Amino acid sequence: MWVWFSKLGSPKWFYELSGKWLPWLIAAMVIFMTIGLVWGLVFLPPDYQQGFTSRILIVHVAVAGTSLAFFPLMLVAGIITLVWRMKLADMVAKHAAILGAWFSFITLATGSLWGSVMWGTWWEWTDSRLVSMLFQLFLLLGVISLRSALEDSETAAKACALLSIVGCINVVIIKYSVEWWNTLHQVASPVSLDPSSPNGPQFWIATLIMIVAVYLFLSVSLILSTRNEILERERRSQWVQDLVLKN
């Protein structure tokens, strides 16, 4: 296991392996994304109160749920960087922050759209779910700017790992905010297997497909940007120059 683990840290090995995975991941992503979006945005039944506005939530729920994965991912990557000095983990953490900020932004934007129609307001400063999500966006922007401000990669990795701990605590707060406190935001919908009861499969299967699609999108984007980073950081090494000559 340790051999495999240290092998994974080698940028060259990761570059070759991810090159083999990528076509499959992209194909799966396209399939899930197409089914999820077409089903969710064209065929999903309307809600009896919200009408077709509920279709926004297909995107919102999938992106919001996935956006909670970034800080835990960055914390694990940060610990691996600091404890085992694995450069690859640092590259993953760097690009996860950028992607995570986009995910958080899309969550807030789609949520605002829905809220402006349903709640009668697009933003409420007193709602802990909304504010903790905004806090996550700011934390991620903080991580991104910290990394670009600190030239020493060791210091940057330490500072970002520290912010990732704060981010992970905030993820727990985002998740449970609607249960711990009174909020305008509703609690998570319980799924039901019975199509004739509320939250039946006709609603959540499309959401589930979108969640898988968004996770695949996250993996593909992260792998692609990490590969770019590898080529840039290792551009003077022999294997990268061989690769360039070969193509």
Partner 1 sequence: MKPHRRKKLGIILFIAAGLSVAVGFTAFALKQNINMFYTPTQVAEGEVGAGQHFRIGGMVKTGTVLGATDSLKVKFVTTDFVSDVPIQYEGILPDLFREGQGIVAEGEMDAAGVFQASRVLAKHDENFMSPEVKAALDAAGASTDNYMPGGAN
Residues that bind partner 1 (CB under 8 A): 45-50, 54, 79, 82-84, 117-121, 124, 126-128, 161-162, 165-166, 168-169, 173, 178-184, 186-190, 195-200, 202-203
Q: Strand, coil or helix: what is 51?
A: strand
Smallest distance, Å, CB 33 to partner 1? 22
Phi/psi at 143 (nearest 5 deg)?
A: -60, -45
Say how far apart CA 128 and CA 132 lie, in whole Å.
6
Least distance from C-beta 208 to partner 1, angstroms? 14
- Sequence-distant (≥ 6) Cβ neighbours of residue 127 within 8 angstroms: 183, 184, 185
What beta strand segments (E) does the chain contain? none
Q: Which is nearer to partner 1, 174 or 240 (CB)?
A: 174
Of the pair 204, 217, the CB lying nearest partner 1 is at 204
Nearest to 211 by CA among 103, 72, 75: 103
Of 108 and 216, CB closest to partner 1 = 108
Least distance in angstroms from the C-beta of 97 to partner 1:
18
Name the residue nearer to partner 1 (CB basis): 27 or 188: 188
Which residues lie below 8 Å from residue 145, measured CB to CB, with a gap of 6+? none
Do 150 and 156 touch, CB atoms closer than 8 A?
yes
- Report the nearest approach of partner 1 to the CB of residue 89 (Å): 13
Q: Indicate the residue among 63 and 230 with the shorter CB distance to partner 1.
A: 63
Report how far residue 130's alpha carbon sits from residue 181's, in angstroms, rounded to the nearest whole number.
12
- The SS3 assignment for 47 reads strand
Q: Which two structure tokens, joined as six digits, stand for 15?
A: 């570059």
Give me Rg for the CA atoms of the chain: 20
Min dist. Cβ of residue 240 to partner 1 (A): 29
Residue placing its CB nearer to partner 1 in the complex, 189 or 241: 189
Give the residues across from 47 on adjacent strands: 51
Tell me the closest approach of the beta carbon of residue 167 to partner 1, in angstroms. 11
CA distance linking residue 167 with residue 77, whole number of Å: 13
Name which of 18 and 136 has its Cβ closer to partner 1: 136
**Cβ-Cβ contacts under 8 Å for 135 (sequence gap 6 or more):** 170
Q: How far is the CB of 141 from partner 1 (least distance, A)?
A: 20
